[in-house]
């Protein structure tokens, strides 16, 4: 079996066991529903407040803002389900010096530490995101064609991969920084900046959220696909950033592992 | 009371030393706190540019508001209810419960000490923000002093509210859901998301009777000089009242919360 | 007036039942079942002031649970306790000042700051007077030999050093009652000895009542004259240490390895383990010297060591599983 197929197999086992384990905790389910509802309500209220005073925010209409919110919640849900539990586990293990066993499995190390756990109930956010998008879609339906939908799907996949890569790179830094709690708050904060279309931000901030920590572009561009704002330039940028993020994160990870195991670079 | 003073002093001093040691990480934290207000700032400036003055808030007012927000935020940082989970899970709470002093005092003093360092780290950030966004305010020495008092009072209120929520989490995990809702209410009713003047009238009325506004918006307004002297006195009175109410609440709930904890232990 | 009175102390925990498999997980989402775990069952004993008593038992026997109930950290399910006249569950400030619980492997000092700073905080928390603080700190620092550690942050200390300063900090208020939970866990031999002698000195000088749990016999033999044995939450034995050795028919283990291959050694003693060139024998205490001499004379011995079996083995072997009748019969009030 190829190495990748083997790693994929292991990933599926991880996910199945993780889901199985968490499904038992109905309190977590209830909590998640409350959490998601509260976050959604806050997001909606913020948008409602803005549109109580204007009809366009930086040119974006209300349903268009909801599109951004929907993508934000959906991708956030995917992040919390598949990525974040693993990242925080790893950072914890680095702090405790418990790292070695994670790195000596006969599986690709990056895949192993990235897929060990699942935050199963965060899938509620994915559902919420889809609902919000569906609702915004109702208002935008006539401006969207099948090509837009396709580009949107592609954009979502790219967005998800970018988010994973950003977090992966950040987690790799804990090899050296050990204590990364503070930086984690920054990344989470930056992700929240993506609740609004980055086009309203000053250029320097847009640039930062596209090229340095591409959290913003990961959310805005898919939203643009659904709101008939997508320029070929933006799509290409997204694709380039996706490929670059994945490659950079992987290279950085391998460098980190090598360095950690004492192999000379 | 005289038993507590040395504890506060020594705990505060230790906290300052600790934070000073980790000032790199603390500075990064301070930077992290900036993202939220900058986003709000940009959004509302955009709206104000479009719509003009909003209930007394124009581009300049929003700018001043959210920049002072960053300082008040450092002041009102308190122990998150989530920290209780860590505290119990790691068994550290057992250590603290063995001491003949309510852990409340050590934590309140500790965070206060840490703040001293954080506020110094905030200063370069403030300079940067001022250069970037050019807010318009110039508080007098008196206003600055009053601000100082209201900011610390806001800290105690917020600390107490979050401490109470942390205690409530001992009762049942169902309480966690309640805690989420209350934190969300804080976001909307404290002036953290937007100045209360932007909110509908009924929301403004509700927020006056809740503790949240007195931890966030009130100090900000004192600083940017938006209040009359009468309003400032009233506000200080409200802050005092809320410190008393939350303090009494904690005293009432503490014994029962500990009962709950000691039934199960770590 | 006894220091510690324990009567019928019981602690039962409700533990959710968790089973394997996806279907079972789903089932428990809807229908959660629990089972009761009796950590401590009807425990009774009395300690007089100044007694140093060992609390022995294998892992999970209920030792730590009992100590936690006596310190006010756990609320008993039934029964009651009185420690220097206080009910621990009331958690009165005076009680907390006079009782110290030291848990092995637990860190209660401030991690990032020099030890001395944590001691200053303790002084404030326990309202220790300046003179008392200075004299005790100096005395304990010398007794534990931690003088050069006081300026170091706790995180830079080794496990043994951390344990020593934890004990120092805990004893600064000179508590008349001291509970020690596995204080030498994970420490090397010299550190263990140092801590034992310090505790013995403290007990002697302050006349403190000390209850010490361990699953190392050595801790107990060094410090205690009286021993309480606990097994699966229930008290098995309460009496003199010497009686314990006799009653449990103390065995010692001899591990012998030879050059070449090992012949049949069952004639020397009960063989508990065996490989091609090494064997572990269980030998009655009185016969150890004789058997060792014979082994050395009659075999081509490469290495020979004599040890105490761990307390779990002693208890388990004497009260083989299912033999609760014998266990009940052996209980000494």
Is B81 part of any domain?
yes
**Co-location of C241 and C297 in the same domain:** no
Is C94 part of any domain?
yes
B230 against C34, higher pLDDT:
B230
Is B188 part of any domain?
yes
How many angstroms separate the CA of residue A11 from the nearest CA in chain C?
17
**Co-location of C195 and C51 in the same domain:** yes
Q: What is the 3-state secondary structure (H, E, C) of C88-138?
A: HHHCCHHHHHHEEEEECCCCCCCCCCEHHHHHHHHHHHCCCCHHHHHHHHH
Choose the closest CB to B17 out of C113, C126, C127: C113
- Beta-carbon separation of C73 and B264 below 8 A: no
pLDDT for C325? 44
Chain B interface mutation, best of C75, C100, C123, highest count of B Cβ atoms under 10 Å: C75
Residue A173 C-alpha from the chain's centroid: 18
**Co-location of C254 and C238 in the same domain:** no
Is C58 part of any domain?
yes
pLDDT for C331? 44
Q: How far is CA B29 from CA B117, C51, C71, in A?
A: 12, 52, 38
Whether A231 contacts chain C with CB within 8 A: no
**Co-location of C97 and C46 in the same domain:** yes
Closest among A201, A211, A130 to A166, alpha carbons compared: A211
Supply the range of the domain harboring residue B12. 4-259
- Beta-carbon separation of B98 and C68 below 8 A: no
Q: Please name the residues between 20 and 59 in chain A that touch chain C, using a CB distance below 8 Å.
A: 20-21, 23-26, 29
The token pair that represents C143 in the structure block: 């007794």
Closest among B103, B265, B101 to C97, alpha carbons compared: B101
* Nearest C-alpha in A relative to B39: A193
Is B266 part of any domain?
no
- Beta-carbon separation of A200 and B46 below 8 A: yes
- Beta-carbon separation of C25 and A20 below 8 A: yes
Whether A13 contacts chain C with CB within 8 A: no
DSSP C50-92: T-EEEEE--TTSSHHHHHHHHHTSS--SEEEEEETTB-GGG--
pLDDT tens string, chain B, 266 residues long: the values are: 678 999 999 999 999 999 998 888 888 888 888 889 999 999 999 999 988 888 889 999 999 999 999 999 999 999 888 788 888 878 888 889 999 999 999 999 999 999 999 999 999 999 998 898 888 878 888 889 999 999 999 999 999 999 999 888 777 766 778 888 998 999 999 999 999 999 999 999 999 999 999 999 999 999 998 889 999 999 999 999 999 999 999 999 998 888 888 877 65
pTM of the full structure: 0.84
Query: A120-155: buried (b, 16+ CB within 10 Å) or exposed (e) per residue?
Result: bbbbbbbebbeebbeebbeebeeebeeebeebbebb
**Co-location of C127 and C43 in the same domain:** yes
pLDDT for C328? 47
Is C322 part of any domain?
no
Is C324 part of any domain?
no
**Co-location of C57 and C183 in the same domain:** yes
Sort out which chain B residues have CB atoms less than 8 A from C101's CB and list them: 98
**Co-location of C145 and C290 in the same domain:** no
pLDDT for B256? 86
Is C254 part of any domain?
yes
Q: Which of A1-10, A118-127, A197-206, C300-309 has the lowest mean pLDDT?
A: A1-10
Supply the range of the domain harboring residue C147. 4-245
- Beta-carbon separation of C29 and A26 below 8 A: yes
Is C126 part of any domain?
yes
Instruction: Please name the chains neighbouring B, where neighbouring means 3+ C-beta pairs under 8 angstroms.
Output: A, C
- Give the span between the Cα atoms of A121 and A125, in whole angstroms: 8
Report how many domains make up chain B: 1
Mean model confidence pLDDT for chain C: 84
A167 against C323, higher pLDDT:
A167
pLDDT for C248? 59
Is C295 part of any domain?
yes
- Give the span between the Cα atoms of B88 and C86, in whole angstroms: 25
Q: What value does the mean pLDDT take over residues C265-286? A: 84
Instruction: Please name the chains neighbouring C, where neighbouring means 3+ C-beta pairs under 8 angstroms.
Output: A, B
**Co-location of C203 and C125 in the same domain:** yes
pLDDT digits (tens, 9 = 90+) for B182-227: 989 999 999 999 999 999 999 999 999 999 999 999 999 999 988 8
The four Cα atoms C294, C297, C301, C307 give a dihedral, to 10 degrees, of 30
Instruction: Enumerate chain B positions whose Cβ falls within 8 A of a Cβ in C.
Output: 3, 6-7, 9-11, 14, 17-18, 21-22, 91-92, 94-95, 97-101, 106, 258-259, 262-266
Choose the closest CB to C112 out of B11, B21, B97: B21
CATH number at residue C19: 3.40.50.300
* Residue C241 near residue C226, CB atoms below 8 Å: yes
DSSP chain A: --HHHHHHHHHHHHHHHHHHHHHT-HHHHHHHHHHHHHHHHHHHHHHHHHHTT-S-BTTB-HHHHHHHHHHHHHHHHHIIIIIHHHHHHHHHHHHHT--HHHHSSSS-HHHHHHHS---GGGHHHHHHHHHHHHHHHHHHGGG--HHHHHHHHHHHHHHHHHHHHHHHHHHHHHHHHS--HHHHHHHHHHHHHTTS-GGGS-HHHHHIIIIISTHHHHHHHHHHHHTT---HHHHHHHHHHHHHHHHHHHHHHHHHHHHHTT---
**Co-location of C235 and C254 in the same domain:** no
A191 against C285, higher pLDDT:
A191
Residue C37, SS3 per DSSP: strand
Is the pLDDT reported for residue A230 higher than 60?
yes
- Cβ neighbour number for residue C162 with a 10 Å cutoff: 20
Domain boundary among C201, C221, C245: C245
Share of chain C above pLDDT 90, in %: 37
**Co-location of C10 and C81 in the same domain:** yes
Is B265 part of any domain?
no
Is C316 part of any domain?
no
- Give the span between the Cα atoms of C282 and C318, in whole angstroms: 13
- Beta-carbon separation of B39 and A183 below 8 A: no
Domain boundary among C245, C263, C290: C245
- Beta-carbon separation of B188 and A45 below 8 A: yes
- Cβ neighbour number for residue A214 with a 10 Å cutoff: 26
pLDDT digits (tens, 9 = 90+) for C84-117: 999 999 999 999 999 999 987 778 898 888 999 9
Is B264 part of any domain?
no
Sort out which chain B residues have CB atoms less than 8 A from C103's CB and list them: 94
Whether B177 contacts chain A with CB within 8 A: yes
pLDDT digits (tens, 9 = 90+) for A110-121: 888 898 888 999
- Give the span between the Cα atoms of A120 and A100, in whole angstroms: 26
Instruction: Please name the chains neighbouring A, where neighbouring means 3+ C-beta pairs under 8 angstroms.
Output: B, C
**Co-location of C224 and C89 in the same domain:** yes
* Residue B103 near residue B97, CB atoms below 8 Å: yes
Is the pLDDT reported for residue A262 higher than 60?
no
Share of chain C above pLDDT 70, in %: 87
Interface ipTM: 0.89
Report how many domains make up chain C: 2
* Residue A187 near residue A88, CB atoms below 8 Å: no
**Co-location of C62 and C179 in the same domain:** yes
């Amino acid at each position: 079996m190829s190495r990748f197929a083997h790693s994929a197999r292991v990933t599926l086992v991880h996910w199945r066991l993780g889901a199985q384990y968490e499904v038992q905790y109905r309190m977590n389910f209830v909590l998640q529903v409350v959490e998601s509802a509260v976050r959604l309500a806050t997001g909606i209220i913020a948008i409602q407040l803005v549109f109580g005073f204007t009809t366009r925010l930086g040119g974006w209409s209300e349903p268009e803002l909801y599109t951004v919110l929907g993508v934000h919640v959906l991708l956030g849900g995917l992040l919390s389900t598949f990525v974040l539990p693993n990242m925080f586990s790893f950072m914890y293990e680095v702090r405790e010096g418990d790292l070695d066993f994670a790195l000596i499995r006969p599986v690709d190390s990056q895949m192993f530490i990235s897929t060990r756990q699942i935050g199963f109930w965060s899938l509620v956010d994915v559902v919420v995101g889809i609902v919000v998008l569906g609702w915004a879609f109702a208002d935008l339906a006539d401006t969207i064609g099948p090509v837009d939908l396709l580009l949107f799907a592609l954009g979502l996949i790219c967005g998800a991969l970018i988010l994973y890569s950003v977090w992966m790179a950040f987690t790799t830094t804990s090899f050296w920084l050990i204590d990364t709690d503070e930086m984690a708050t920054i990344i989470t904060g930056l992700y929240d900046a993506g609740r609004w279309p980055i086009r309203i931000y000053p250029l320097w901030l847009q640039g930062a959220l596209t090229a340095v920590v591409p959290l913003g572009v990961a959310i805005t561009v898919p939203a643009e696909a659904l709101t008939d704002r997508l320029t070929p330039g933006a799509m290409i940028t997204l694709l380039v950033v996706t490929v670059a993020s994945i490659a950079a994160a992987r290279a950085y990870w391998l460098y980190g592992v090598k360095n950690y195991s004492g192999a000379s670079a | 009371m005289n038993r507590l003073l040395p504890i506060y002093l020594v705990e505060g001093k230790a906290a300052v030393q600790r934070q000073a040691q980790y000032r790199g990480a603390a500075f990064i934290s301070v930077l992290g706190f900036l993202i939220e207000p900058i986003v709000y700032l940009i959004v509302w400036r955009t709206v104000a540019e479009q719509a003009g003055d909003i209930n007394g808030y124009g581009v300049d007012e929003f700018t001043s508001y959210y920049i002072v927000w960053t300082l008040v935020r450092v002041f009102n940082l308190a122990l998150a209810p989530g920290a209780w989970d860590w505290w119990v899970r790691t068994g550290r709470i057992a250590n603290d419960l063995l001491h003949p002093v309510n852990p409340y005092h050590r934590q309140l003093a500790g965070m206060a000490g840490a703040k001293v360092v954080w506020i110094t780290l905030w200063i370069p950030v403030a300079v940067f923000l001022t250069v970037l966004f050019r807010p318009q305010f110039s508080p007098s020495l008196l206003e600055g002093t009053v601000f100082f008092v209201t900011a610390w009072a806001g800290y105690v209120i917020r600390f107490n509210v979050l401490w109470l929520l942390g205690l409530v989490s001992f009762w049942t995990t169902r309480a966690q859901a309640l805690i989420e809702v209350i934190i969300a209410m804080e976001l909307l009713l404290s002036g953290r998301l937007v100045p209360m003047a932007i909110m509908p009238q009924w929301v403004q009325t509700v927020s006056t009777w809740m503790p949240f506004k007195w931890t966030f918006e009130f100090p900000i307004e004192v600083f940017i000089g938006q209040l009359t002297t009468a309003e400032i006195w009233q506000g200080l009175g409200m802050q005092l009242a809320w410190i008393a109410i939350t303090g009494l609440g904690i005293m009432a709930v503490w014994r029962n919360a500990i009962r709950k904890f000691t039934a199960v232990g770590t | 007036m006894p220091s510690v009175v324990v009567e019928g102390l019981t602690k039962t925990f409700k533990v959710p039942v968790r089973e394997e498999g996806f279907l079972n997980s789903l089932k428990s989402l809807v229908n959660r079942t629990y089972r009761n775990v009796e950590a401590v069952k009807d425990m009774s004993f009395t300690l007089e002031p100044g007694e140093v008593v060992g609390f022995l038992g294998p892992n999970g026997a209920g030792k730590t649970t009992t100590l936690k109930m006596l310190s006010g950290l756990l609320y008993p399910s039934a029964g009651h306790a009185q420690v220097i006249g206080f009910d621990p569950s009331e958690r009165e400030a005076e009680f907390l000042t006079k009782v110290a619980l030291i848990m092995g492997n637990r860190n209660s000092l401030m991690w990032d700051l020099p030890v001395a700073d944590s001691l200053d905080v303790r002084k404030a928390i326990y309202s220790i007077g300046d003179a008392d603080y200075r004299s005790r700190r100096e005395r304990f620092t010398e007794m534990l030999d931690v003088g050069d550690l006081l300026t170091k942050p706790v995180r830079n200390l080794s496990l043994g050093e951390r344990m020593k300063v934890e004990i120092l900090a805990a004893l600064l208020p000179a508590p008349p009652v001291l509970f020690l939970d596995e204080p030498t866990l994970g420490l090397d031999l010299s550190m263990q000895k140092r801590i034992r002698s310090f505790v013995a000195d403290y007990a002697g000088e302050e006349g403190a009542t000390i209850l010490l749990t361990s699953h190392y016999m050595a801790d107990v033999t060094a410090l205690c004259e009286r021993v309480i044995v606990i097994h699966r939450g229930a008290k098995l034995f309460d009496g003199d240490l010497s009686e314990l050795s006799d009653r449990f028919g103390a065995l010692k283990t001899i591990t012998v390895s030879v050059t070449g291959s090992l012949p049949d050694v069952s004639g020397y003693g009960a063989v508990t383990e065996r490989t091609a060139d090494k064997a572990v024998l269980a030998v009655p205490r009185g016969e150890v010297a004789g058997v060792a001499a014979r082994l050395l004379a009659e075999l081509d011995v490469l290495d020979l060591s004599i040890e105490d079996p761990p307390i779990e083995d002693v208890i388990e072997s004497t009260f083989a599983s299912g033999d609760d009748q014998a266990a009940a019969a052996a209980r000494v009030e």
